[in-house]
Structures are given as structure tokens and as C-alpha cells.
Amino acid sequence: MFVTHELPGEVIHQLSGLCDVNVWLGPGLLPASGLREELSDCDGVVCLLTDRIDRELIESLPGLRFVSSMSVGVDHIDVQALTARGIPLGHTPGVLVETTADTAFALLLAAARRVSEADRFVRQGEWRRENRWSPDFFTGKDVGGATLGLVGLGEIGQAVARRAQAFGMRVIAWNRTQKEVPGVRLQSLESVLAESDFLSVHLALAPETQGLLDTSRIAAMKPGAVLINTARGGIVDEQALAAALSSGRLYAAGIDVFAEEPVPVDNPLLSLPNVVLTPHIGSATARTRARMADIAAANAIAALRGEPMPHCANPEVYAR
């Protein structure tokens, strides 16, 4: 089998006792052409969210028996193509809930209190005696007592809601299915957009969520609101968001995920001072990443032993 990157954790080391293992050691990430070559005679692969496992690649690998991704989302993989072949796909749900919720709330606070702007101000030597303080010096937006709207009320959305409640925020949410969560009022998407001082996105990327927050829905947000996205790029129209931020209709944004990653240098969000940007680090703590790697390895081990993966994204393959 093939592992597309060196991984943390302990379970990954057990694979070598079950099969021949080849690991990409770099430099950098494995290019797409290299992935096809490395998988040509492999039974399985442990991959990352940066590895594109599309239908063309899957159809070129007649001996492929399983795929295990070190990720919660599987939008980088053609799940239907795997399922059609009866190939199980492992992923790592649940493990990054609290870590990603921390990142979302960190971006919310940083955007509200202009942390990135203030950091640049100090580092660039602009904080001088003659401008050291004034009543409107880097004034921001209050978080306590504000309304937080959640677009998606899964585990991460619920974890963000708990943090918001500790800050005394009113929490409302829209979810694609009915869900009762203590302290959270479920409303229509339109009313969540209109009422939220802060709007945080927590949806998987799928055909029905692609471009969900488009020009019209961003225009329907409460004037002066802050938008946070730690879910997936492609859910938010970045051009429309940049226009709303540039015009002052929206106050700020905190963005961890982009439609194209790495983000292109001509992305308009990069030139705006009222945007906090991070490079898809929602789950980036040492403990969480090690736990994700352990789950991905455990899924691969189960597949090698002919057992159902403990965390399978397409469990219907086992019903055949």
C-alpha cells in the first residue's frame, strides 16, 4: 500500500506488519502525476485532503481495494466511483470538532477586534507617541451580547454554539434538517442572514452547498456583520464577499478555507485590511492531527484484514 505523506501518531507504524508500505517522503506534497504512478500496483492508499482521487484515477487502478483519507470531508475523492467498484473509503469524523470550533471562534474574535490590523500597525512602526491612543483608536465590534448565526448545525456548529453561549451571545442557526440543540434557535436561512451580527459557516461541500452564500445571500446579510468560514471553500462566493467588505456593507471576515488552495495572489480578499486569513488550519493542533492519522491508519488496517472500516464514508459497500 501507499501513504502519500509522512504521518504523525502511532498506529501508522502497524501497517508495515500487514503489508509492504511505501511512503512519500517529499520534498513537498506528492504531485498528481506521482500519485498515479505510485498507486499503479497498490492495493490501498492512505491519503490527505490535498490528494485528488478522481474517477479517472480510480478507473486506472484495477487492483485498488481501499482508500483511507486523513480528513473529515471527502470532497477531494469521487465517492460514487469508489462505491460503484465496491471500494470502501475511510475518513476521520468527530476527531477535529473542538479544534475546528476553536479556530472558528479565534477568527471571530480576531475579526471583531481587528487583531490582524492592529498587529500590522505595531510591527510596521506606525504606533508612535503622537498617535498612541484616542477614543476611536482601533475600535472594534462587540462579541458579548451579539447574535451569532450558524449556517450548519452539525457537531462543529454545535461546538461553536457552546463557545458563543459562554460569551453571552444569542445563537440562531439554519440547518438542512430539523435539529434540536439546547440554547440554539433554528430559523430559516433568510432570517439567520438578516439577524446575525456574526455568521459562521459549518457545512460540508456538496453540490447543494456549492455557492450557497452567493451574491444575493451575502447582500441579504445584516449590514455590518462579520462572516467566518472554517468549513470549505466554494460555499462562499469570494468575489461577492470581497465586494461587500470593500464597500463597507460587511464589517469584516475570518476565512480559513478557499475555493482554490493555496489561495491565488490575485484573490481580492488578500488586499483587504478587514479580513483575517489563515491557510486551512482549522484542525491544526499536534494532538488532533495525530488522532486523525491514527484513525486513518486504523481504517486501513481494518481493510487489510478484510474487516469493515470503523469510520467508513460509504458503508453501503459492505451491504453487497
Residues belonging to the active site: 232, 261, 280
Residues 256 and 139: their CA atoms lie apart, in Å, by 24
For 161, phi and psi rounded to 5 degrees? Answer: -60, -40
Residues 276 and 269: their CA atoms lie apart, in Å, by 9
Residues 184 and 172: their CA atoms lie apart, in Å, by 5
Q: Which amino acid is at 319?
A: A
* Bridge partner list, 213: 236
Residues 299 and 1: their CA atoms lie apart, in Å, by 13
* Secondary structure in 3-state letters for the chain: CEECCCCCCCHHHHHHHCCCCEECCCCCCCCHHHHHHHHCCCCEEEECCCCCECHHHHHCCCCCCEEEECCCCCCCECHHHHHHCCCCEECCCCCCHHHHHHHHHHHHHHHHCCHHHHHHHHHCCCCCHHHCCCCCCCCCCCCCCCEEEEECCCHHHHHHHHHHHHCCCEEEEECCCCCCCCCEEECCHHHHHHHCCEEEECCCCCCCCCCCECHHHHHCCCCCCEEEECCCCCCECHHHHHHHHHHCCCCEEEECCCCCCCCCCCCHHHHCCCEEECCCCCCCCHHHHHHHHHHHHHHHHHHHCCCCCCCECCHHHHHC
